[in-house]
Structure 1
Amino acid sequence: MTAQRVSRLAGVLLAASLAVTGCMGRPVAPPAAPQRASPTANVTPRPTETSVPPTERLRLAVLQQSYGNYETATGELRALVDGGAPPDVRPEALWRLGRCQLLAGDNAGAAQSLTRFLNDYPGHAQAPTATFWLGQARLALGDGRDAAEAYRLYLQQRPLLASYVQGLIGDALAQAGDTAAAADAYRAAANAETDSSRKADLLEKVARSLAAEKRYDEAVAAFDEILSFAQNANYRAQIMFQAGAALRDAGRRADAAERWNKLVATYPLTSYAAQALSVLDDWGMAAAGALVRAQVEYGAGRYQGAVDILRALIDGNPTGHTGDAHYWAALAYRQLGRHADSVRELDELIASHSQNTLVTEAWYEKAESQLLAGAVDGAVATFRALVARYPQSSRAVQALWRIAQVYDGAGRNDEAATAYAQAAATYPSASYAADARFNAGLAHYTAGQVDQARQVWAGYLPQEQDPAMRARLLLWLGKAAQRQGNTQAAADWWAQATAAQPDGFWGLRAQDLSAGRSFGGQAPEGAFDPARYTPRGTPAEAEAWLKGWAPALPEGQGPGQLPPSLAESQAFRRSMELWALGDAAAAQSELRQVQSAYKDDPWALYALALYARDQGLYMPSILAASRLLALAPAAARAQAPRLVEELAYPTYYADLVLPEAQVTQTDPLLFFALIYQESLFDSHATSYSDARGLAQVIPSTGQYIAGKLGEATFAPDKLWRPAVSVRYGLWYLAAGLSMFHNDALMALVGYNAGPTNAAKWGQLADGDPDLYFERVSNQQPRTYMQRIYEHRAHYEQLYR
C-alpha cells in the first residue's frame, strides 16, 4: 500500500476520532416439492418510486436489510444517497449503505461508502461503528495495516471491547505480515479476556506469532499457559503437539521429543499422537511401547497395523502381556469386520486375565461383536453372563437393556416384553427404567397381544410419578381400548392423559386422538391472513399480571424498564456494543450471562424480553419471556397475559413466511414451530453440523434446494439471510409433507434426520403416528417431533 493511501485513510479516521471524542445434521434431500408459483422473496424488487417520502424509503430499505435482501437494500440506499436525500436521512442512508455492502460481500464498495460517510459526517454518533466496519472491509480486502489502524481508532473511541478488538488488530497485523506487533496485540487481548475458550484461541495466536518471529521459548510458554486450564483431551493433544513443534523448530530436538513422547503416552488415540510418533520414529527417539503404538494405530484408523502389533506382542510374550492387548486387538478386529476374531480375543482376555480391569468391558464388547456376527442368542447369553457375574457394574445395567432391544429389533416380541420387564425390575433406578416399563407393554401391543399390553401398562401406572411418563401410559391404554372397540374407555384414558400432561407431547396427542385430529402440515382456511399474526398483547395487561404475583418493583424503577444494575453491568454493555458491531454470536454469549444473573427476577426478565425484542435480539427475548412464564406460580401461569405469551412464542418474519407458505399451502404455524425449535428465531444461528440460519439448512441441502428452485447464484453464506432461509426451509418442509402424504411427524423426521431414515422408521409403524414416534430409534429426531408438536400447539392457542 502506498504511503499516500495510508495517509489519506489515517486523515479520515483521525478526523472521525477527534470529532466523536468531542461528542451473532441433513442427509439427502427429498424429491421435489409441489410446483412453486413465482417465489416472491427471490425477485429483486426495483428501487422504490421517488414519490415515496425519503423517510419511508429508508424504512423499507432497513426492512430489506433485516431480511437479508442486501442487494435490494443497497439499491434503495444508493438511490437515496445519490438522489439528494434530505439532511435528516442522508447520513443514515450512507452508513447503512456501507453496512449492506459489507454484509453482501462487496468489501470494496463498503470501504468506499464508509470512508465517504466518515469524511462527510465525522462527528456522527455512528462514526465509531462505521470505523469498525471500515476495518472489517479493509481486512477482507487484504489491507491489514489499514484495518488495524481503523480498529485502533475505534478502540480509542469505544474502549469497552478491548479484548475483542485487540484480537482483530492482531488478525489484521498478522495478515500484513507484522507478526511481532500481532503477537503484542494478541497478548493484550488474551490478558483482558475472561472467557476460557476465547482466551485459549487468543493464546494460540500469540504462540504462533511468536514462533513466526523465532521467539520459541515465549511461544512454548504461551502453549503451556493454555495447558494450565484447557480440559478437552483432543485440544490438549493439539496444543502439546504445537508446543513440541515450536521446540523442534528451535533446534531443541530432545525437548521436543520429551513433549511428544508425553503426548503419545497420554493421548494415544488422537491424530496428534500419530503425527508425533511418526516424527519420533524418524528421529529414533520414540519411547512408546507396543501397546501404546497399537493404540496410536487404532486411533489413526489403521486397524490392521494395530492388529499386527498386538498379535506380535501377544505371540512374542505369551505370559508377559496384559489383557489390554487382547481388548484392543478385539476392537481392531471388529473395525475390520472380523467379528469371530474379535470374540476370540475377548474370550482370551476373560479366561486368562480375570483380574484385569477391562474384564467387564470384555464381556460387554464380546456380546456386541456376537451381535455384529449375527449370533443373537449367543450375544444374549453373554449379556446375561455379564449380569450374573458383575450385577453392580454399569455394564450390567446396560446389558439388560440391550437384551430387550436385541429381541425387539429381531421381532421376538414375547421375549422382548419379558426382557424389558426384567430390566425395569432389576434396575428400577436406571435411566431407562420408565422406558423399559412402557416398552414391555408395547412389545405385546405390536404383536397383537392387546390385552396383555393393557395389563402391563395398567400394572405399571400406579408407580409412575413423572407426568410425561404417566401421560404416555395413559395414551396407550386409550389406544389399546380403542383397538379393542371400547371407545368410551379410550376417551376416558385420553382425558386422564390430557390432565396428566396438558401442555406436553403425550397430553396433546391424547387431545388430538380424542378429537379425531391428525397432525398434518396442510394449511387450514384463513392461515395466510396477516392479521392473525399481528401481536395484540398490551403492556398494561402484562404489568397488571406481574403485580399480582411478582415482588414489588424497586422504588424509582418503572415496569418494563431495565434495572440500573442490569443496564450498567459490563456484560450487558458489552453485549449491546457487540450487537451494534454485528457480531450476534458474541453479543448473545454476553447476554446469556446477564440472563443468568437475573433469572429469578420477574421484572428484570420482562424488561429484558421487551428490550431484546426491540433490538432484534429475538433469541434472548424468547428465553427471557419463557423463563418469566416458568417463574410464575401455577395459577398465574394459567392466566398469563397475551403479551408475555407472544414474546415467548413470536411470529417474527411473518411477512416472509406467509407468502412462501402460501406457495405450497403449508401451515405457517407448523413452520413457525420449526423455526422456534431450530434457531429460536436467531438468523445468525450455526449448528455443530454447519446448519445455518432461521431454518437451519446445511450447505449441501441448500445447494440441492437452490438447484430445484433454479437459483444459480447460491452461496452457503446466503443461508444466514432470513429471506433465503425461510424460502429454502419451507420448500424442504413442503417437500417432506408431499413425500409422506401430509404426515407432519414423518416430514419433521425427514427434515431433521433425512427422508431415508424417516421412511425406514415409517415401515415399522403400519401407518400409526404414535407407533411411528415409538419406532424412531434415534433420540434427536424423537425430541424434535415432541418439541415441535408442543410448540405448534402453543402457536395454535395464540394465533388460530
Structure 2
Amino acid sequence: MYLVGTLFVALFSALFQSSMDRAFIALKANDWPSASSALDEAFSQDPQTFEANNLHYLRGRVAENENDWQRAGEEFNKIAADNPLHPLAVWHALRASVQLHDEPAAALLLSALPRDFPNELKMRIAREAGGPFALKIYEEVSTREARLEQAKLLNDTRSMRDLLRENKDDDVALEAAQLFAPYVLAPADEMDVAQAFAAHRQFEQALPLFQKASMDPAYAADARYQTGRVYFQLEDYPSAIDVYRAVARDFEGTDWQRDAEYQIALCYWRMADYRKSEIAFQDYIRKYGSAGNQEAATRNLVDVYRVLGENQKAVETIDRALRTRLSPIIRQVFLFTKAKILYSQNRHAAALAIFQQLGQMRLRWAAGAATLEEVEYFQGLSQAKLGNKAAAERVWQKLALDEFSYYGQRAAEKLGRSRTGQLTGTSTQACLPDASLTAAAVEADLAGLRHPVRAEMSRSSDIVSELVFLRLWDEAAFWIERPGARIPPRPAAEIAYLAGRYNRSIFYADRLPKTESTLPLLYPAGYQQTICDAALAQNVDPVWLHAIIWQESKYNPNARSGAAARGLMQLIPETARSVAASAGMPDLTIDMLYDPATSIQLGAKYWSMLLTQLNSPEMALAAYNGGPDNVEKWRSKSSDPELFVADIGFAETKKYVLSVFAARAAYASFLK
C-alpha cells in the first residue's frame, strides 16, 4: 500500500511538473490561452504546490494579458500578506479594480499599498483610472509628472508656471509651456515659456515670445540675445548677425556686447564667410583678450586659417598663443593642432616630435584635443612617412591589440588586416544572429537562481527570486533596481536583457570583463527585426544601425538628450520632421519619436542620406551627431582623410564617432 501511495504521489508530481513546463513554454510564446489552460490543470493537480510556488500570481498575470480582469483580481487577491509578492499583488489587484470600475475596492487597495511603493507604478494606475481617483494618487506623489497631471486636472496655471521655472529641459516643461502659453501676460512668464520652447527646439513658438519680452527694458538684453540664438540654431545666420549687432550696439560696455560679438564671428564661420570670420575673431581677441573667451576665439581663428589654406598664419597664431599662459588643456589642443598642420605639410619629423611630446603628457578630453591612442597612431603615420617601417609597425601592433577601438581598427588595416567583422557600407545581408538563441543561453545561465518546485513557501524568499522563478523578467528587471536588492552585475544584466530593458543590461554588463558570454549583454541586439527591415528598405548595413542606437540611447526608447533629441536614434525635432517629410510621414509629432519603429525608420533613412551624401562612415557619423554643415568645415581643414576624425571640432562628436566604430566592431564580431 505504501508503494502504491508513493507511486501515486510521484505520478501527480510528474503531471504537475509537466503542466507547469507547458505553461512556461506557452508564456514564452505569448500564447495566453494555452498558458491559462496549463496553469489551471496544474492547480487541479496540486493546489497546495500551486500556491507554494506563487502560481496564483502567474495566473493573474496571464489573465491580465487576456484582459480577463475579474479573474486577474481573484488570483492576485489570493496572495497572502506574508508573501514577498504581496505588495505587487495588491498593485495588480488595484489595476484590475480600476479596469472593472470597482471604485470602493480600488480605494481600499490603494490604501493597502506600502508607503514606499514605486511612484511610477502608482502613476500608471492614475493614468489608467483618470478623474478623481487619479487626482487622489497625484496628490500623494511628489514627482514633476504627478504635479503636472494634477495641474491639468485642476487647470492650475500657477503650478504649471512653477514647473516651468524649476526646470525647462524635460518633457514636463514642454507640456507645461504649451498649456501655460495662452495665459502668459508678464514678461517674466514670456521668458520662461520661450526658454522652455527653445530648449526643446520649438523655435517657431519661442521666437515671438522672446521678441515680445524684449519690449520690456528689464528683459530686453536677454530676450534679444536669445532671439539671436534662435536664428543661429535655425541656421539663419544673416538674421542672427543683425540681432547680435543690435545687441552689441545697444548694450555697449556690457557682457552682452562681448558675447554678441563672439557670436557674430561664429556666424560668419558657419556661413563659410571666412574672411569676415577672421576679422571678427581678430577684433574680438584684441578687444577683450583674457577678459573674453580668448582661448576659444584663438582656436577658431586657427581653424579659419586652416580652411583658407593659410597654414603658416595658423602656425604663427599657435606659436604666439603657446608663448602665453594657457590652461593645460588648451596647450595640448594647440600642440596637437600644430602637429597636424606640420604633418599635412609633409614636415613629418617636426610633427613626430610634437606627437611624441604629447604622448608623454597626461592628455585630457576637450574640443580639439587628442587621445593617447590617437597620438600614438599619428606617431606611427609619421614614422611610416619617414621610412621607419619597423617603428611604425610596432606602434600599429600595439594599437591593433584593441580590436574594437577606432584607431585599433585603423592600425589593423595598416598591418594588412581587415577591421573586426568588416562589412561593406551598404550590406543588407548582415542581420545579426537570431536573438532567441542568445536569450535561451542567458536564461539557461540564470537557471541556478531559480529555486526548485517546493511543497511550501520558503521564509527566505524575496521578490526578485520569486519573479525569477516565475520567469516574469519584466517585473524582476524593475525590482532589481529597488533599494535593498543586492543582485550581482552578471545576473542583473541577464535579467534586464531577458526583460528587454537593454539599457540596464548594458549598464550592468559594463562592470563585467568583456568575454564571449558577456559581450551580448553589453551589446544587445534589441529591436532586431525592425532594424533589419529598416536597413533593407534603406539599403544600409543593419550593424551600423545597432551601433548608432547603442551609442545614442543604449536602446532606451524613452531617452532624451539635452539637445532635445528623442528616442532610440535620438533625432532632434527639425531633423526628424525633414526626414519624415521625405519618407511620406507629414504628420510626425515630437512624441512619436519615442516610438521605436518610428525612430528606427527615420534614423535608418537619415543614416542612408548621410552616407550617400558624404560617402564616408566617419563623416556620416560626425554629421549625424554634429550636423552636416559642421562636417564641411572640419573636412575643409585638410585634404588628407587621415586627419578628419582628429579634426572634428566638437569633443562630443569626436567621442561619438570613436564610440560608434567600437560598438559596430563589437556587433560585427557576432557575425563571425
**TM-score, with structure 2 as normaliser:** 0.64
Structure-2 separation of matches of 1:745 and 1:430: 28
Aligned equivalent of 1:189, options 141, 145, 149: 141
1:337 alignment counterpart: 242
Distance in 2 separating the partners of 1:511 and 1:580: 44
Q: Aligned-pair distance for 1:790?
A: 1.7
Root mean square deviation of aligned Cα: 6.3
Within a 5 Å distance, the mapping from 1:136-175 to structure 2 comes to 146=101, 152=107, 155=110, 158-159=113-114, 161=117, 163-164=119-120, 167=123
Post-superposition offset of 1:473: 1.9
Partner residue, 1:515? 416
Indicate conservation of the 8 Å contact 1:441/1:453, yes or no. yes
In 1, the alpha carbon distance for the partners of 2:333 and 2:321 equals: 10
Matched, 1:790 2:667: no
- Number of the residue aligned with 2:549: 675
Partner of 2:497: 613
Q: How does 1:361-376 map onto structure 2 within 5 Å?
A: 374-376=275-277
Q: One-letter code of the match for 1:58?
A: A
Contact 2:558 2:568 in 1 (8 A): yes
The one-letter code sitting in structure 1 at the alignment partner of 2:494 is: L
Shift of 1:171: 5.7
2:501–2:556 contact (8 Å) kept in structure 1: yes
- Partner deviation per Cα, 1:670-700 (whole Å, 9 max, x = no partner): 4433332233233554556676654456788
Whether the 8 Å CA contact 2:400–2:412 is kept in 1: the answer is yes
Q: Which residue of 1 aligns with 2:26?
A: 58
Does structure 2 retain, via aligned residues, the 8 Å contact 1:657–1:668?
A: yes
The answer on whether the counterparts of 1:182 and 1:209 sit within 8 Å (CA) in structure 2 is: no
- Give the Å deviation of 1:397: 3.3
**Alignment-derived partner of residue 224 in structure 2:** 298
Conservation of the 8 A alpha-carbon contact between 2:553 and 2:569: yes
Matched, 1:744 2:646: no
How far did 1:786 drift?
Answer: 0.7
2: CA distance between counterparts of 1:368 and 1:525?
41
Q: Deviations over 1:737-792 (max 9, x none)?
A: 55555x43234345445667667756666472x32323443444322211011223
Deviation at 1:476, TM superposition (A): 1.8
Q: 1:530 aligns with which of 433, 438, 444?
A: 433
Work out the CA distance in 2 between the residues paired with 1:619 and 1:454: 41
Per the alignment, do residues 151 and 164 of structure 1 end up closer, same or farther by CA in structure 2, a change over 3 Å counting? Answer: farther
8 Å CA contact retained: 2:555, 2:568:
yes
Q: 1:415 aligned to 2:415?
A: no
What letter matches 1:782 in structure 2?
K
Change (3 A) 1:624 1:337: same
Whole-Å separation in 2 of the counterparts to 1:731 and 1:89: 50
Q: Which deviates more from structure 2 when the two are superposed, residues 712-721 or residues 479-488?
A: 712-721
- Aligned position for 1:307: none
Structure 1 residues 375, 565: CA separation in 2 closer, same or farther (over 3 Å shift)?
Answer: farther
Secondary structure of the 1:510 match is helix
User: Following the alignment from structure 1 to structure 2, what is the Cα–Cα distance between the partners of residues 333 and 421?
Assistant: 33
Structure 2 equivalent of residue 202 of structure 1: 146
| Alignment match of 1:774 (pick from 634, 646, 650) | 646
Give, in whole Å, the separation in 2 of the partners of 1:366 and 1:731: 34
Amino acid at match of 1:771: L
Q: Which amino acid aligns with 1:647?
A: L
How far is the alpha carbon of 1:382 from its aligned partner?
2.5
TM superposition shift of 1:269? 8.1
Q: Is the 8 A contact 1:681 1:694 kept in 2?
A: yes
Match of 1:105 in 2: none
Contact 1:706–1:714 under 8 Å retained in 2: yes
Counterparts of 1:796 and 1:114 in 2: how far apart (Å)? 44
Tell me if the contact between 1:478 and 1:490 (Cα under 8 Å) persists in the aligned partners: yes
Q: SS where residue 375 of structure 1 aligns?
A: helix
Per-residue deviation, 1:385 = 2.3
Cα separation, partners in 2 of 1:796 and 1:430, compared to 1, 3 Å: same
Q: Output the amino acid matched with 1:530.
A: P
The answer as to 2:338 corresponding to 1:470 is: no
Q: Does 1:506 align with 2:397?
A: no
Structure 1 residues 676, 613: closer, same or farther in 2, change over 3 A? same
> Does the Cα contact within 8 Å between 1:268 and 1:295 map onto a contact in 2?
no
Give the counterpart of 1:436 among 323, 326, 334: 334
Question: What letter matches 2:332 in structure 1?
Answer: A
The gaps in structure 2 that reach 5 residues or longer are 1-20, 44-55, 80-87, 198-204, 230-236, 452-458
Report SS of the residue matched to 1:642. coil
1:38 match: none
Contact 2:568 2:599 in 1 (8 A): yes
Q: Tell me which residue corresponds to 2:84.
A: none
- 1:642 equivalent to 2:597? Answer no
Q: Secondary structure at the match of 1:682?
A: coil
**One-letter amino acid of the structure 1 residue matched with residue 138 of structure 2:** Y
Change (3 A) 1:659 1:370: closer
Range with greater deviation from structure 2 (396-405 or 230-239): 230-239
Are the equivalent residues in 2 in contact too, given 1:237–1:270 (CA < 8 A)? no
Cα deviation 1:424-447 (Å, max 9, x = unaligned): 553443544323221112223345
Distance 1:451 1:510, change over 3 A: same
Please state whether the residue corresponding to 1:650 is helix, strand or coil: coil
Q: Pick from 485, 488, 492 the counterpart of residue 604 of structure 1.
A: 488
SS of 1:612's partner is helix
- Decide whether aligned partners of structure 1 residues 450 and 77 sit closer, same or farther in structure 2, where only a CA change above 3 A counts: same
Structure 1 residues 399-435: Cα deviation after superposition (integer angstroms, max 9, x where no partner): 3323323323433222223333444553443544323
2:244 and 2:576 map into 1 onto residues whose CA distance is 40
For 1:123-522, list aligned pairs within 5 A. 146=101, 152=107, 155=110, 158-159=113-114, 161=117, 163-164=119-120, 167=123, 176=131, 178=132, 184-190=136-142, 198=143, 200-206=144-150, 230=166, 263=188, 291-295=217-221, 298=224, 301=227, 335=240, 337=242, 349=253, 374-386=275-287, 391=290, 393=291, 395-424=293-322, 426-447=324-345, 449-463=347-361, 465=363, 469-483=371-385, 487-495=389-397, 497-498=399-400, 504-515=405-416, 517=418, 521-522=424-425
8 Å Cα contact 2:307-2:638 kept in structure 1:
no
Query: Structure 1 residues 470 and 271 mapped into 2: Cα distance closer, same or farther (>3 Å)?
Result: closer
Contact kept, 8 Å, 1:343 with 1:370, in 2: the verdict is no
Kindly indicate whether structure 1 or structure 2 has the higher relative contact order, using CA contacts under 8 Å at least 6 residues apart.
1
Say if 2:514 is the partner of 1:624.
Answer: no
CA contact (8 A) 2:399 2:411 kept: yes
Query: TM-score under structure 1 normalisation?
Result: 0.55
- Could you say what secondary structure the match of 1:463 adopts? coil
CA distance in 1, matches of 2:347, 2:124: 67
Whether the aligned pair in 1 keeps the contact of 2:22 and 2:35 (CA below 8 Å) is no
Letter in 2 for 1:295: A
Q: Deviations over 1:320-356 (max 9, x none)?
A: xxxxxxxxxxxx997362776666667x53xxxxxx6
Contact 2:268 2:277 in 1 (8 A): yes
Question: Deviation at 1:165?
Answer: 5.8
The CA deviation at 1:623 is 0.9
- Give the secondary-structure state (helix, strand or coil) at the position aligned to 2:343: helix
